[in-house]
Amino acid sequence: MRILLQKVSEASVVIEGELIAQIEAGILIFFCAMNEDSMEQAHYLARKIKNLRIFCDDQGKMNKSILDIKGSTLVVSQFTLAADTSRGNRPGFSRAAHPDEGKRLYNGFCELLSDQGLDVKTGRFGADMAVHLVNDGPITIWLDTSKP
Protein backbone atom coordinates (compact mmCIF):
# COMPACT_ATOMS: atom_id res chain seq x y z
CA MET A 1 0.00 0.00 0.00
CA ARG A 2 1.05 3.50 -0.67
CA ILE A 3 -0.19 6.46 1.26
CA LEU A 4 0.60 10.11 0.90
CA LEU A 5 -0.55 12.01 3.93
CA GLN A 6 -0.69 15.72 4.42
CA LYS A 7 -1.22 17.62 7.62
CA VAL A 8 -3.98 20.11 6.81
CA SER A 9 -5.80 22.96 8.47
CA GLU A 10 -8.75 22.12 6.22
CA ALA A 11 -9.60 19.81 3.32
CA SER A 12 -12.64 18.84 1.30
CA VAL A 13 -13.81 16.67 -1.58
CA VAL A 14 -16.23 17.91 -4.22
CA ILE A 15 -17.81 15.68 -6.88
CA GLU A 16 -19.75 17.27 -9.74
CA GLY A 17 -20.15 20.48 -7.75
CA GLU A 18 -21.41 18.71 -4.61
CA LEU A 19 -19.48 18.85 -1.34
CA ILE A 20 -19.01 15.20 -0.33
CA ALA A 21 -16.75 15.50 2.72
CA GLN A 22 -14.95 18.20 4.67
CA ILE A 23 -12.56 18.35 7.63
CA GLU A 24 -10.81 21.03 9.60
CA ALA A 25 -7.48 20.37 11.33
CA GLY A 26 -6.25 16.86 10.65
CA ILE A 27 -4.77 14.61 8.00
CA LEU A 28 -5.65 14.26 4.34
CA ILE A 29 -4.78 10.70 3.31
CA PHE A 30 -4.34 9.72 -0.34
CA PHE A 31 -4.65 5.91 -0.41
CA CYS A 32 -3.51 3.42 -3.06
CA ALA A 33 -3.85 -0.35 -2.82
CA MET A 34 -1.23 -2.22 -4.83
CA ASN A 35 -1.22 -5.75 -6.28
CA GLU A 36 -0.53 -8.32 -3.56
CA ASP A 37 -1.67 -5.98 -0.74
CA SER A 38 -3.72 -7.34 2.14
CA MET A 39 -5.51 -6.11 5.23
CA GLU A 40 -2.29 -6.78 7.17
CA GLN A 41 -0.72 -3.71 5.54
CA ALA A 42 -3.89 -1.72 6.19
CA HIS A 43 -3.71 -2.60 9.91
CA TYR A 44 -0.08 -1.48 10.06
CA LEU A 45 -0.81 1.83 8.32
CA ALA A 46 -3.89 2.61 10.42
CA ARG A 47 -1.87 2.11 13.63
CA LYS A 48 1.03 4.14 12.24
CA ILE A 49 -1.21 7.05 11.27
CA LYS A 50 -3.03 7.01 14.61
CA ASN A 51 0.27 7.30 16.49
CA LEU A 52 2.21 9.55 14.10
CA ARG A 53 3.32 12.63 16.00
CA ILE A 54 3.09 15.40 13.41
CA PHE A 55 1.11 17.99 15.37
CA CYS A 56 2.83 20.62 17.49
CA ASP A 57 2.76 20.86 21.27
CA ASP A 58 2.86 24.15 23.21
CA GLN A 59 6.60 24.45 22.53
CA GLY A 60 6.16 24.07 18.76
CA LYS A 61 7.62 20.54 18.63
CA MET A 62 5.89 17.77 16.70
CA ASN A 63 4.90 15.71 19.74
CA LYS A 64 1.15 15.25 19.30
CA SER A 65 -0.85 12.68 17.37
CA ILE A 66 -4.12 13.21 15.57
CA LEU A 67 -5.92 11.72 18.57
CA ASP A 68 -4.18 14.20 20.88
CA ILE A 69 -5.52 17.17 18.92
CA LYS A 70 -8.93 15.55 18.30
CA GLY A 71 -8.37 16.02 14.56
CA SER A 72 -10.11 14.37 11.64
CA THR A 73 -8.98 12.35 8.65
CA LEU A 74 -10.14 12.62 5.07
CA VAL A 75 -9.30 9.50 3.05
CA VAL A 76 -9.22 9.77 -0.74
CA SER A 77 -8.60 6.81 -3.04
CA GLN A 78 -5.85 7.55 -5.54
CA PHE A 79 -4.66 4.72 -7.77
CA THR A 80 -2.22 7.08 -9.48
CA LEU A 81 0.15 6.65 -6.52
CA ALA A 82 0.96 3.32 -8.19
CA ALA A 83 2.33 5.12 -11.26
CA ASP A 84 5.32 3.52 -12.95
CA THR A 85 7.22 6.21 -14.85
CA SER A 86 10.34 4.15 -15.57
CA ARG A 87 9.64 3.83 -19.30
CA GLY A 88 8.42 6.50 -21.65
CA ASN A 89 6.36 9.51 -20.73
CA ARG A 90 2.99 7.93 -20.04
CA PRO A 91 2.68 6.46 -16.53
CA GLY A 92 1.64 2.84 -16.21
CA PHE A 93 -0.72 1.71 -13.45
CA SER A 94 -0.49 -2.07 -13.70
CA ARG A 95 0.88 -2.28 -10.14
CA ALA A 96 -2.34 -0.84 -8.70
CA ALA A 97 -4.78 -3.36 -7.26
CA HIS A 98 -7.74 -4.39 -9.41
CA PRO A 99 -10.59 -1.91 -8.73
CA ASP A 100 -12.72 -4.46 -6.84
CA GLU A 101 -9.82 -5.38 -4.56
CA GLY A 102 -8.74 -1.75 -4.27
CA LYS A 103 -12.21 -0.77 -3.12
CA ARG A 104 -12.32 -3.60 -0.58
CA LEU A 105 -8.95 -2.55 0.86
CA TYR A 106 -9.87 1.15 0.80
CA ASN A 107 -13.11 0.53 2.70
CA GLY A 108 -11.33 -1.81 5.11
CA PHE A 109 -8.60 0.76 5.75
CA CYS A 110 -11.18 3.47 6.47
CA GLU A 111 -12.96 1.11 8.87
CA LEU A 112 -9.68 0.35 10.64
CA LEU A 113 -8.97 4.06 11.11
CA SER A 114 -12.43 4.47 12.60
CA ASP A 115 -11.83 1.44 14.87
CA GLN A 116 -8.66 3.22 16.09
CA GLY A 117 -10.89 6.02 17.39
CA LEU A 118 -10.30 8.45 14.53
CA ASP A 119 -12.96 10.68 12.97
CA VAL A 120 -12.96 9.48 9.34
CA LYS A 121 -14.45 11.22 6.32
CA THR A 122 -14.06 9.81 2.82
CA GLY A 123 -14.15 10.69 -0.82
CA ARG A 124 -15.90 8.32 -3.21
CA PHE A 125 -13.87 5.38 -4.50
CA GLY A 126 -13.29 5.58 -8.25
CA ALA A 127 -14.94 8.98 -8.67
CA ASP A 128 -13.46 12.01 -10.41
CA MET A 129 -12.95 14.21 -7.36
CA ALA A 130 -11.85 17.79 -6.79
CA VAL A 131 -9.76 17.76 -3.62
CA HIS A 132 -9.25 21.09 -1.89
CA LEU A 133 -6.74 21.48 0.91
CA VAL A 134 -4.73 23.91 2.94
CA ASN A 135 -1.48 22.14 3.74
CA ASP A 136 -0.29 22.97 7.26
CA GLY A 137 3.46 23.22 7.69
CA PRO A 138 3.69 22.04 5.00
CA ILE A 139 4.01 18.51 6.31
CA THR A 140 3.69 15.77 3.69
CA ILE A 141 4.71 12.18 4.46
CA TRP A 142 4.99 9.15 2.19
CA LEU A 143 4.19 5.72 3.64
CA ASP A 144 4.82 2.60 1.55
CA THR A 145 4.45 -0.90 2.98
CA SER A 146 6.70 -2.36 0.27
CA LYS A 147 9.67 -0.37 1.56
CA PRO A 148 11.31 -0.93 4.95
Query: Which residue type does 33 have?
Result: A
CB 10 within 8 A of CB 23: yes
Dihedral in degrees, nearest 10, Cα atoms 86, 29, 127, 133: -100
Query: Which residue type does 16 have?
Result: E
Residues catalogued as catalytic: 80
CB 94 within 8 A of CB 34: no
Other CB atoms within a 10 A radius of the CB of residue 96 amount to: 22
Q: Burial code of 4-14, b = ≥16 C-beta within 10 A, e = fewer?
A: bbbbbebbbbe
